[in-house]
Amino acid sequence: MVLLLRYYYIRNAGTNNDPAILKNSFSRQFYFFHPSHAVTPALFIAAGIFAVIITGANRQVISDKMLLPSGGTGGYMLWAESAVPVKEDLNGPGGKKEFGLEEEELKDLVFVQSARLSGDDASCLNLNHVSSPPILAVDPYAFISKGSFSFAATIRSNNDMNPWSFLESSPGPNTVYGIADQTVLQWGLKKKTGDTLIYRAENGQPLNIVICAGLKSSIFQGYLLIGQRQFTEYFPSISGSSVFLIDGKPELSEFYRNTLNERLSGYGFSAQDAGEKLSSFFQVTNTYLNVFAVFGALGMILGAAGLGFVLMRNYNLRRREFALMSATGFTQGRIRNLILKDQILILIWGVLSGTVSGLTATLPSLKSGSEMPWRVILIMIISIIAIGLISLRISVRSIRSSSLVSQLRKE
C-alpha cells in the first residue's frame, strides 16, 4: 500500500501540462521529483503499527484445540498434585475403596498417576537457567491409546515409531529416553532433541537421559518425562504418585474437583482445571508481549508527533515554490492547507498500510484462536492519528507570509 502512495504522486504528475490541473497539483509535482519525502514517513508509521499488531498476535490463549487430546491438556479435564505421594492405584478397586470413590457419579473417573523426583522449576514461571528439572514417571501407553499431546520436534527413528514409545526402551547402559516441553528445552534448559541430561541415580551411577522429543505447549511444562519402568529402576526409593491427570464426564468437572480435594485432603491433594493450569504458563509470555505492545504504541505516538518536523522540513525545501505562489495570489491560509493536506494524507496512508498489512499477516493466528490486544491497538491508532493531526496543526501555524516575502526578495 505504501507503493500505491508513491504511484499516486508520480502518476502523470510530471507530464500533465493542463494549467487547470497544475494549479491544484503543486504537491504532486514536488513529490513526483522527490517521492521519498512522502513514502518514508508513511513507511515508518506503517512498519511501527505492523510490528505492534504482529506482537499482539503472538499472545497465547486457551482455545478449543488446546482441550483436545492432541492439544496442550492431552484431552484431560483436571491436573492435580499432592504434597504426600499417594501409593494406591486410584483406578483399581482398592484405591477407590480407600478414598471413597466408589459412588455412581465417580465411576467414569480415570487417573494417570506419576511419581515425581524433585528438581528445579524449569517452566516459564522461573526465568533462571536450570540444568536438572523435576522428573515425572509416566505411562506412555496411556497417552498413545488416547492420542494425547503433540510434538514440536523428535529424534529420527528407522520405523517412524510414536515418540512416546521411546520411553519404554533404553539406548544403552545407564541411559534412558526422556521427553520435555519444547519451551523448556529451548529456553529453560538450552537443549534440543538428541542432547543428553545427566542425573545421579540412587545407585550412585550417572543416569544419562537422552531427549527424544519436545512437546508442543503442554501442562507438562517444567518437567522431564521418562518411562515408569526406568524411573523405578533408577529411583526405587520413590514410591507413590504425586502428579495426576484426571479425565471423566465434562459436565461433572466441578464435582470431581471438589470431591477429590476433599477426600484426599490428607495428602495435600490439589486439583485444578487442566486448561487453567496450561493458561498459567501463558501469563509470563503474554505479560512480556503486552509490555512490548504498550511501549511500541508509545513509540509510535511519539513518532507521529515527529510528523510536525517532517512538515517543516518539506516546507523549508519548498520555500521558493511557496514564495512564488504567494506572489501570484495564493493566500497564507491556502498555502498552509496545501501543506497540511499532504501531510495528513501521508499520516492516514501510513496508518492504513500498517493496519491492513498487520491484520492480513495475523489472519491465520486469529483463525486459530489467538487473542489480539484489540484495545491497545485501537487506542494506539486513534492516538497516532490524533497526535499527528495536532502536531501538524501546530507546525503549519508557524508558517508566515512575511518569511515567504523575504524569500522572494532574496530571489
Let me know: does 182 contact 167? Beta carbons within 8 Å.
no
Which residues lie across from 154 on neighbouring strands? 213
Position 151, amino acid: F
Q: What is the per-residue pLDDT for 90?
A: 92
Whole-model pTM: value is 0.68
Residues 179, 246, single domain; the answer is yes
Which residues lie across from 272 on neighbouring strands? 79
Residues 118, 170, single domain; the answer is yes
Q: What is the per-residue pLDDT for 4?
A: 63
Q: What is the per-residue pLDDT for 334?
A: 79
Q: What is the per-residue pLDDT for 31?
A: 63
Q: What is the per-residue pLDDT for 244?
A: 95
Q: Which of 252, 278, 304 is the last residue of a domain?
A: 278
Q: What is the per-residue pLDDT for 20?
A: 43
Q: What is the per-residue pLDDT for 260?
A: 93
**What domain range includes position 230?**
69-278
Residues 156, 81, single domain; the answer is yes
Q: Which of 244, 278, 312 is the last residue of a domain?
A: 278
- Do the bridges between strand 78-86 and strand 196-200 make them parallel or antiparallel, or are there none, so unpaired? unpaired
Residues 146, 267, single domain; the answer is yes
Q: Which of 162, 168, 140 is nearest to 229 (CA)?
A: 168
Residues 221, 80, single domain; the answer is yes
Residues 238, 120, single domain; the answer is yes
Cβ-count burial 339-348 (b if 16+ within 10 Å, e if not): bbebbbbbbe
Residues 130, 257, single domain; the answer is yes
Q: What is the per-residue pLDDT for 408?
A: 59
Q: Which of 260, 278, 296 is the last residue of a domain?
A: 278
| Terminal CA-CA length for the chain | 39
Residues 125, 274, single domain; the answer is yes
Q: What is the per-residue pLDDT for 26?
A: 58
Q: Which of 396, 286, 261 is nearest to 61 (CA)?
A: 286
Residues 337, 218, single domain; the answer is no
Q: What is the per-residue pLDDT for 348?
A: 85
Per-block average pLDDT, block size 10, for the chain (411 residues)?
59 49 54 66 80 74 78 91 92 90 88 88 57 87 90 80 87 90 82 89 90 90 90 91 92 92 92 88 76 76 75 71 71 77 81 84 66 75 85 76 59 58
Cβ-count burial 289-301 (b if 16+ within 10 Å, e if not): beeebeebbeebb
Residues 240, 135, single domain; the answer is yes
Let me know: does 178 contact 209? Beta carbons within 8 Å.
yes
Residues 99, 180, single domain; the answer is yes
Question: CA 392 to CA 238: how far, in whole Å?
Answer: 71
Q: Which residues contact 318 (CB under 8 A, 6 or more apart)?
A: 30
Q: How far is CA 255 from the centre of its chain?
A: 34
Q: Which of 368, 322, 364 is nearest to 342 (CA)?
A: 322
- Number of domains forming the structure of the chain: 2
Residues 273, 140, single domain; the answer is yes
